[in-house]
Structures are given as structure tokens and as C-alpha cells.
């Protein structure tokens, strides 16, 4: 199969509307300050919102401004004849504010394709939190098979009137902050993101997509499964031609949920006799749901290349048997990036650094 390289990336998130802004924000403060989301009948909740650009009113106008900017930053103009994979779990806030059944995702994906003047095929992936990770897996397979030479994976998660109130109703959200694998963890903090990953088979780049896997455990529709986490890791490594000892870093899900973090930790311990370094990015940008896979990969690679490592202020939970690393591994060549989500989906990709 043809090698697939990650040749372009871009991100708008709570830290800023570009990756450069995000790194400036991270280096200037110990943690981003979340905005507050007001809900009727309860205290306001923290929410990692993309900074106001000041020129877009309405959901579609704001979405168009952010999507076109992020796609351009990732080099979309160079690959408009390739395949576009749009990944999202959010709703179109201008037309479907009350019931999700009003949402026409196909029409929305075609609209986004028109915004980008896309000439190649357009695909939509909507599988809750794993949407953009599954889109990345699909795009990689498409390029490896020779169906296309270039692809753009676009993850979109923007505020609407359904998502955060729905998570709040399920009591899944923290009232303070995200505390991955921590003793005091009490829920997730949601966030917005628009992320783009540009893939190609025609040129080399620092990061090669070795392979990945998606495992669905239908018995756990709203939580992670330790068994599925183990299977996800094993299958992703097998698809990449690697063993567990070849992984230097794992970008974990670790959203701060009491039960999910515990199940994830159990699955990781079963997969790795010697645990690689672990990193979580959700304290920095929130859990960006359908966009989280693309957003966290874009941010992680930027942090690694620019020499920034996240700082965590909460005490690790000793009962989990894992903890987040305080610094980057001295030798870092291969990264296993994971996302776990609703519907029992567990997805991972392996990235290999081909140059220092």
C-alpha cells in the first residue's frame, strides 16, 4: 500500500483561531480560562469556546468563516480535486435548535463543500466523539488504496442549543475543569474546534500515518470498555506492523470522567506491559466531541514540534495505575492517538515521525 503522510494541519479552538495563536496562549498561561455556559435552572458550566472573530453572526455565517479559514491554513487550495472527509457531531444551529431529527447532515456537508469550492468527492462521517478519527482512518485507507492522491479531513464541533444541554442533563459535565486520570475528576468540559488535516501520498513529510483501528463495543453505548480499549490498541498496532514496545507516546482520551477514565486506564494496562508516556489535551481545549480526533492530533504535533509540553495541576488517582507524563519522552518517534466515544466506538491511529 502507498504511504500516507500528514502534510498540512490547522486548528481553531479555545486557545486561538490558529495553531500559532494556540502555542502563544499555552506559553503565556498555565491553563486556558474557560467561558461559562448558562443553562436554565442550574449553575453555569465551563465551556471552551473559540474566541470571537468579531465579524460573523449566526451559526452558518460563523461556521463558514471558521471552516474556510482553517481549511485554507491547512492548504486546502492545493487538494480541491481530492477527497474531502467532513467529520462532525454538532447540529446546524440556524435550522435545528429544538430536535435533532431536523438536521440534514447531507445537505450541511454539501454546503461545506460549496464553501470550500471543493471539486472532488465529499464524504460525511458522524459517529459522535470518534467522528474525525474515523474520518482520518477512512481517508488514510482511501489514499493507501489509490482511490485518491490527496485528502482533507475536516473536523467541526461548534456550539448549538442541543449538545451541551444534553450532556448536562446526563450529569456528565464538570462544574470546574477537566481533570484527566485525576483523583478529583468529576466529569468532562466540552469545547469547540474546527480542525483540518491534509493528507497526501505524493510527498514525504515529518509524520507518516502507519495505520489504525476502530473497535465498537455495542454493550457499552455511553461509556468506554476496557476490553475494547485493549482490542483497539492491539489492532491499531497490528495494522501498523508494530508491537507495544514500539510506541513512545499515547495521546489518551482521558476526558476526566470517573468511570470512563478508569475503564480506559484498565484497557491501557492490559495492552502495555511497560506503559509509554501518556498525554491528554482535553484540559487545554475541552472535549471537542466530533472534532476531537483531528483537533487533538493537530495540537499535539504542533506542541511536539515547537517544544511545548502540557502541565497538569491535579493529583493522579493511584487506583488507576497510570498517570500523565510531566515531560515529553527523550526519544519520540511513534505516537498512538486515541479517541473513545458514545455508541461504544474506540478509534486509534499510529503516527510515525520520519525525521527529527
Does 301 share its domain with 157?
no
Whole-number pLDDT of residue 54 = 73
pTM, entire model: 0.95
Which residue range is the domain that position 339 belongs to?
Answer: 207-353
Please identify, among 172, 200, 228, the residue that sits at the C-terminal boundary of a domain: 200
354 CB-near residues (< 8 Å, 6+ apart): 204, 205, 206, 207, 208
Across the range 330-350, mean pLDDT stands at 94
Burial (CB < 10 A; 0-12, 13-18, 19+), residue 9, is buried
Q: Cα–Cα distance between 339 and 335 in angstroms, integer?
A: 13
In sequence order, which residues have a C-beta less than 8 Å from that of residue 3 and are 6 or more positions away? 201, 208
Give the bridge partners for 150, in sequence order. 200
Residues 333 and 223 both lie in one domain:
yes
- pLDDT higher than 80, residue 356: no
CB atoms closer than 10 angstroms to residue 130: 31
Pair 164, 267 in one domain: no
Both 9 and 120 in one domain: the answer is: yes
* Residues 6+ away with beta carbon under 8 Å from 236: 211, 212, 213, 336, 348, 349, 350
Name, in order, each residue with C-beta under 8 angstroms of 53's C-beta and a sequence gap of 6 or more.
17, 62, 65, 66
Vertex 81, ends 78 and 82: CA angle to 5°?
Answer: 90
The answer to whether residues 190 and 164 touch, using CB atoms and an 8 Å cutoff, is: yes
- The domain that holds 120 is classified in CATH as 3.40.47.10
**CA torsion sign, 160 to 161 to 163 to 164?**
positive
Backbone angles phi, psi at 183, to 5 degrees: -60, -35
141 and 114 in a single domain? The answer is yes
Which pLDDT score, from 0 to 100, does residue 340 have?
A: 96
Residue 69: pLDDT over 50? yes
Residues 55 and 132 in one domain: yes
The region that residue 97 occupies, defined by phi over 0 for left and psi between -120 and 50 for alpha, beta otherwise, is alpha
Which residue's entry shows cell 482521558?
254
pLDDT digits (tens, 9 = 90+) for 200-214: 998 788 999 999 999
Pair 174, 194 in one domain: yes
Q: What number is the average pLDDT over the span 83-105?
A: 68
For every residue of 155-180, which 3-state class applies, written as one string?
A: EEECCCCCHHHHHHHCCCECCCCCCC
Contact criterion met (CB below 8 Å) for 153 and 116: no
DSSP 78-128: GGTTSEEEEEE----TTT-SS-GGG--HHHHHHHHHHHTT--S-EEEE-BT
Judgement on whether residues 292 and 340 belong to the same structural domain of the protein: yes
Same domain, 194 and 256: no
Asked whether the beta carbons of 107 and 88 are under 8 A apart, the reply is: no
pLDDT for the residue numbered 91: 67
Tens of pLDDT, residue by residue over 341-350, are 988 899 999 9
Same domain for 148 and 269, yes or no, is no
| Alpha-carbon gap, residue 353 to 356, rounded angstroms | 7
CA–CA distances in Å: residue 234 to residues 17, 287, 333, 349: 35, 25, 18, 11
- Alpha-carbon distance of 34 to 6, in angstroms, equals 30
* DSSP per-residue string spanning 266-304: HHHHHH-SSPPEEE--HHHH-B-GGGHHHHHHHHHHHHH
**Euclidean distance between CA atoms 118 and 198, whole angstroms:** 14
Do 290 and 311 lie in one domain? The reply is yes
Q: How many CA atoms, within 13 angstroms, populate the side-chain half-sphere of residue 136?
A: 36
CA–CA separation, 137 vs 12, rounded Å? 22
pLDDT digits (tens, 9 = 90+) for 140-174: 999 999 999 999 999 999 998 888 888 988 899 99
93-97, 243-247, 258-262: range with lowest mean pLDDT: 93-97
Retrieve residue 348's grid coordinates: 486509534
What does the alpha-carbon distance between residue 100 and residue 88 come to, in Å, rounded to a whole number?
13
Shared-domain flag, residues 273 and 334: yes
* Domain end point (choices 182, 200, 218): 200
Whether 97 has a pLDDT exceeding 50, the answer reads no
pLDDT over 90 percentage in the chain = 77
Give the number of domains in the chain.
Answer: 2
Could you say which of 148, 182, 200 is where a domain stops? 200
Amino acid at each position: 500500500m502507498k504511504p500516507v503522510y500528514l502534510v498540512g494541519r490547522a486548528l481553531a479552538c479555545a486557545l486561538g483561531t490558529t495553531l500559532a495563536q494556540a502555542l502563544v496562549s499555552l506559553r503565556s498561561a498555565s491553563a486556558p480560562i474557560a467561558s461559562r455556559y448558562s443553562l436554565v435552572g442550574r449553575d453555569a458550566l465551563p465551556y471552551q469556546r473559540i474566541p470571537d472573530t468579531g465579524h460573523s453572526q449566526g451559526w452558518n455565517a460563523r461556521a463558514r468563516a471558521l471552516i474556510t479559514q482553517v481549511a485554507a491554513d491547512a492548504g486546502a487550495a492545493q487538494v480541491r480535486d481530492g477527497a474531502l472527509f467532513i467529520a462532525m457531531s454538532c447540529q446546524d444551529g440556524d435550522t435545528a435548535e429544538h430536535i435533532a431529527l431536523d438536521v440534514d447532515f447531507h445537505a450541511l456537508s454539501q454546503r461545506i463543500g460549496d464553501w470550500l469550492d471543493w471539486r472532488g468527492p465529499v464524504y460525511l462521517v458522524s459517529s459522535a466523539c470518534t467522528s474525525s478519527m474515523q474520518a482520518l482512518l477512512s481517508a488514510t485507507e482511501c489514499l493507501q488504496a489509490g482511490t485518491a492522491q490527496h485528502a482533507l479531513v475536516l473536523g467541526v464541533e461548534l456550539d448549538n442549543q442541543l449538545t451541551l444541554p444534553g450532556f448536562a442533563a446526563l450529569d456528565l459535565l464538570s462544574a470546574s475543569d477537566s481533570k484527566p486520570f485525576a483523583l478529583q475528576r468529576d466529569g468532562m468540559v466540552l469545547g469547540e474546534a474546527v480542525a483540518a488535516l491534509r493528507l497526501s501520498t505524493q510527498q514525504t513529510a515529518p509524520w507518516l500515518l502507519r495505520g489504525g483501528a476502530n473497535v465498537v463495543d455495542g454493550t457499552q453505548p455511553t461509556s468506554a470498555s476496557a476490553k475494547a480499549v485493549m482490542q483497539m490498541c492491539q489492532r491499531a498496532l497490528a495494522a501498523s506492523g508494530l508491537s507495544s514496545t514500539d510506541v513512545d507516546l499515547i495521546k489518551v482520551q482521558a476526558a476526566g470522567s470517573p468511570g470512563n477514565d478508569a475503564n480506559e486506564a484498565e484497557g491501557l494496562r492490559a495492552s502495555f506491559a511497560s506503559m509509554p508516556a501518556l498525554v491528554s489535551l482535553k484540559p487545554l481545549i475541552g472535549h471537542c466531541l466530533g472534532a476531537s480526533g483531528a483537533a487533538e492530533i493537530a495540537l499535539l504535533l504542533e506542541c511536539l514540534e515547537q517544544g511545548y509540553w502540557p502541565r497538569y495541576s491535579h493529583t493522579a488517582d493511584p487506583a488507576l495505575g497510570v498517570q500523565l507524563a510531566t515531560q515529553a519522552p527523550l526519544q519520540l518517534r511513534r505516537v498512538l492517538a486515541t479517541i473513545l466515544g458514545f455508541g461504544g466506538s474506540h478509534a486509534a491511529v499510529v503516527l510515525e515521525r520520519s525525521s527529527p
